[in-house]
Amino acid sequence: MSRPLPYSDPAHLAAHQFLVEEAALLDAADYSGWLALLTEDIRYVMPVRVTTARGAPASNDMGHFDEDMYALRKRVQRLATDHAWTEDPPSRTRHFVTNVRTFRAGPDELRVESALLLFRSRGDTREADLISAGRADLLRETSGGLMLARREITVDEAVLRTQNLAVFL
Amino acid sequence: MNMIDLAAVVSQVRRGMIPAHVYGDPEIFALERDRLFSRSWVFLAHESEIPDPGDYVVRRVLTDSFIVVRDEAGTIHVMFNMCLHRGMQVCRAELGNASHFRCPYHAWTYRNDGRLAGLPFHEDAYGGEDGFARSGQRLLPAPAMDTYRGLIFISLDEKAPPLRDYLGDFAFYLDFYVNQSPAGIELRGPQRWRVKANWKIGAENFAGDSYHTPHTHASVVEIGLFREPKASKRKEGALYQAGPGAGTTYKLPPGGDFASQLRYVGYPDAMIPAMSQTWTDQQKALVADSGFMVSAATLFPNLSLVHNWPQIDDRGTVRPFISLRQWQPVSERETEVLSWFAVDAAAPEEFKRDSYKAYLMCFGISGMFEQDDVENWVSITDMATGSMARRLNLNSRMGLTSDGKPVKPPIAAFAGPGVAYQGFGEYGQRHWLSQWSDHLEREPAPKQATDLGVAR
C-alpha cells in the first residue's frame, strides 16, 4: 500500500470535505441529495463480519448491503413514501467521520479510508444504537466535482445491535 | 416464582385470546426455556455450510453453544461446546475448518468427531486411566440430532421422535424451498442482528399473517419492488396449516400451467425441468391446479422461510429468492435474528447472483420488507412488558365465528396436505400458538447428568 497523501494535499482536503458534507446530507435525511453524490456505476457493499480464528477469512460471503444504483434508488424512493414505518418517526442520527486517509488511486480517482461511528436514536424509551465501521471509498473526480463510485463498509460487529439498516453508512 | 397462572394463560391462548404480557414476560420466557426449547427440534445449520471434512459452524439453542462439524470421514456431529475438564468453550470462532479443537485453558484436545485425543500429563496428573478414564470420552453430543434435506436439527430431548416424523405434512411445503433439484440448496450467510422484540412475534407472523402485508409493506408496492402484496391480491392467497408448520401463499394468475407459473415468479427455463422432476405430482398440482405459490412459512418453533419474487432492475426483471431465518430467543425482550439466503445449488450462476440481489433488497437486516416488520415487533414488545399488558387479551380470532367455526370453509380443491383457507385469517398463528400451549403445559423433561472419567 502506498503512503497516504499529506494532510495538506488539496486532493486530501477535497476528499475529507466530501465525506463531511456527505455525512451532513445523511444526518439531514436528504437522501436525494445523497444519491446525487453517487456515480451511475456505484457499488455499495457491507460484508457480514464473522468471528474466526486468526488468519482465517473473517467474512462468510454474505453482505448486509450489496447495492447498485437501482437498489439504492429503490431504497431512497421507499423512504420518501408515506409508508416507510421504520423511519417514521425518523431516527436521529449522527455520522461521525474521522481517521480520513487519502491515496491516489488513478489519474482521476482517489481511494479514501475513513472511520465511521453512527449514532442512531429512536423514540424516547429505547437505548440508542451505535454502529462502528471502517469505510474504503473510491472517489472519482468529475466535471461536477468528486463523486462516490464505490464504498466498502467494514463493520466492527459480527452481530449488529440495531433493529435494521434503514440507514446508510 | 410462578406469579402467573399458567393454566389460565394457556386456556386464553387456546380460545384465540392472547394475554399480551406473554410477549414480554420473564416467567413465560423461563417456561419456554424449560418446557419448549428443552424438547422441540430446533434448526441449527445446513450441510452446505460445512461441505468439507473439518468444516464447522458454532450455533446456539438459547444460551447453549454447539459445534456443528463434519469429521474426517464426512459424518456430521453436533456437540456441546464445553470442555469436559473445566468447562471452557473449546471453540471460540463461529466458523472455520479444524482437525482438532484445543481448549485454551489446560490444552485438552478433541478430534473433530468429538473424541478426546489429548490430555496433558495424563499419567502424572491423574495416574492414567485409573484416575481419569480418557478412552472413549468425547465432547457431550447433542441429545438428539437428525437431518432433513441437509437441514441439521437438534433436540435437547434424547427421546425426541425422528425428525421426519416430527415434520409430518409440513415436509410437503418445506420441499418447495429446500428441494428444487436433486442438488438441494446452498446457503449464504447468515446475517445476524439483535432486535428488542420477543421471538414469538416473528415466528407467528411468518406462520400466517397475510393480513399485515398490504399495510406494513405498502411502501414496497408503491415503489414497484414487489407488486403482489397489495390487499386485493394478498387476500386471494391460501393460508395452510400442516404438521408442525403453517404458511402463506400467493394466488397465481389464472390459466397457467406448471412451467408458466414458475416463469411468472421469475424462474429461468433452465431450472424448471429439475423442479418438474423433483417435485411430486401433488406438489406440482399445488402450483398448476390449485394455483398457489408458497411465500412465508414457519416450522415450529422458530425456523421461518420466505419465498418472494421482486423486480430487481429497471428492465423489469423479476427474480425469486428464498430465505431461511431463525428467531433465536435471547430474553423475553430480545431476539437474535439469523437470516440466510438460500438457492438451488444447481441453479445457473447468473440466477444465483440475481436471486441474492432480490433477497438483499427485500429481507435480512437491510431488506425493505424486513425493516418495517421489525419496527412493529419492537413496538409490541415494548408495550407487552408493563402491567397494563396484563389487563389486555389480544384478539387472535380472525377467521373464526363467535362459536369457533371458520368464517369460510377450508378450500376443497387444495392439492396440499393439512388444511387451507383462502382470505385473511389468523389460522396459522393459532396453529403455532396451539403447539406453544402444548409445550408449556407439559412438565420439563428430566435431565440426566453425565459423570466424566470416573469409574462407574
Same domain, B111 and B188: no
Tally of structural domains, chain A: 1
Q: In B, which residues are within 8 Å of A71 by CB distance?
A: 357, 360-361
pTM: predicted TM-score of the whole model, two decimal places: 0.96
Alpha-carbon distance of B28 to B25, in angstroms, equals 5
Q: Which residue of A has its CA nearest to B369?
A: A84
Same domain, B138 and B186: no
- Assign residue A95 the CATH number of its domain: 3.10.450.50
Which amino acid is present at B192? R
In degrees, to the nearest 5, what angle opens at C-alpha B378 toward C-alphas B372 and B381? 145
Q: In B, which residues are within 8 Å of A85 by CB distance?
A: 216, 219, 372, 375-376
Q: What residues make up the domain containing A32?
A: 10-155
Whether A50 and B95 lie within 8 Å, measured CB to CB: yes
- Interchain CB contact of A78 with B (< 8 Å): yes
Same domain, B176 and B118: no
Q: Which pLDDT score is estimated for B447?
A: 81
Q: Is residue A167 part of a domain?
A: no
Q: Which residue of A has its CA nearest to B49?
A: A60
Residues (pLDDT < 70) of chain B are 1-2, 455-456
Q: Which pLDDT score is estimated for A1?
A: 59
Q: Is residue A36 part of a domain?
A: yes
Whether A64 and B188 lie within 8 Å, measured CB to CB: no
Q: Is residue A82 part of a domain?
A: yes
Whether B189 and A64 lie within 8 Å, measured CB to CB: no
Whether A160 and B314 lie within 8 Å, measured CB to CB: no
Q: In A, which residues are within 8 Å of B341 by CB distance?
A: 62
Residue closest to B207 by CA, chosen among B448, B5, B1, B396: B396
Same domain, B183 and B115: no
Q: Name residue, grid cell 451505535.
A: A130
Q: Choose the closest CB to B191 out of A62, A70, A71.
A: A62
Q: Is residue B262 part of a domain?
A: yes
Q: What residues make up the domain containing B315?
A: 169-441
Same domain, B301 and B412: yes
Same domain, B209 and B282: yes
Q: Which residue of A has its CA nearest to B358?
A: A71
- Number of C-alpha atoms within 13 angstroms, CB side, residue B207? 31
Whether A60 and B95 lie within 8 Å, measured CB to CB: yes
Residue closest to B245 by CA, chosen among B157, B306, B171, B308: B171
Q: Is residue B24 part of a domain?
A: no
Q: Name residue, grid cell 445476524.
A: B192
Q: What element of type H or E holds A23?
A: helix A10-27
Q: Choose the closest CB to B371 out of A53, A60, A86.
A: A86
Average pLDDT (A20-44) is: 98
Interface of A with B in 12-71 (CB under 8 A): 46, 48, 50-53, 56, 60-68, 70-71
Tally of structural domains, chain B: 2
Q: Is residue A145 part of a domain?
A: yes
Same domain, B182 and B124: no
Q: Choose the closest CB to B371 out of A64, A68, A164.
A: A164
Same domain, B300 and B369: yes
Q: Is residue A60 part of a domain?
A: yes
Whether A53 and B96 lie within 8 Å, measured CB to CB: yes
Q: Which pLDDT score is estimated for B455?
A: 58
Whether A164 and B374 lie within 8 Å, measured CB to CB: yes
In degrees, to the nearest 5, what angle opens at C-alpha B193 toward C-alphas B190 and B199? 100
Q: How confident is the model at residue A57 (pLDDT cuts 50, 70, 90)?
A: confident
Boundary of a domain, candidates B89, B117, B147: B147
Helices (H), B179-242: 199-208, 213-216, 218-222, 231-234
- Assign residue B71 the CATH number of its domain: 2.102.10.10
- Residue by residue, DSSP assigns A74-110 as HHHHHHTSTT-GGGSSPPEEEEEEEEEEEEEEETTEE
Q: Choose the closest CB to B341 out of A53, A56, A62.
A: A62
Same domain, B102 and B218: no
Q: Is residue B290 part of a domain?
A: yes
Q: What element of type H or E holds B277?
A: helix B272-278
Q: Is residue A140 part of a domain?
A: yes
Whether A52 and B93 lie within 8 Å, measured CB to CB: yes
Whether A162 and B368 lie within 8 Å, measured CB to CB: no
Q: Which pLDDT score is estimated for B1?
A: 45
- Interchain CB contact of A74 with B (< 8 Å): yes
Q: Is residue B447 part of a domain?
A: no
Q: Is residue B55 part of a domain?
A: yes
- Assign residue B404 the CATH number of its domain: 3.90.380.10
Q: Choose the closest CB to A71 out of B357, B365, B371.
A: B357
Q: In B, which residues are within 8 Å of A60 by CB distance?
A: 95, 188-190
Q: Choose the closest CB to A159 out of B194, B340, B374.
A: B194
Q: Which residue of B has its CA nearest to A165?
A: B366
Alpha-carbon distance of B101 to B110, in angstroms, equals 5
Q: Is residue B114 part of a domain?
A: yes
Whether A62 and B216 lie within 8 Å, measured CB to CB: no
**What does the DSSP 8-state code read for residue A58?**
S
Grid coordinates representing A106 are: 488513478
Q: Is residue B83 part of a domain?
A: yes
Alpha-carbon distance of B389 to A48, in angstroms, equals 37
Q: Is residue B34 part of a domain?
A: no
Same domain, B189 and B141: no
Shortest distance between the Cα of A102 and any Cα of chain B, in A, equals 29
Q: How many CB pairs under 8 A join A and B?
A: 122
Shortest distance between the Cα of A33 and any Cα of chain B, in A, equals 19
Q: Choose the closest CB to B220 out of A71, A78, A160.
A: A78
Tell me what percent of the residues of chain B surpass a pLDDT of 90: 91
Same domain, B62 and B207: no
Same domain, B51 and B190: no
pLDDT in tens, A44-55: 999 999 999 998
Q: Choose the closest CB to B191 out of A48, A51, A53.
A: A48
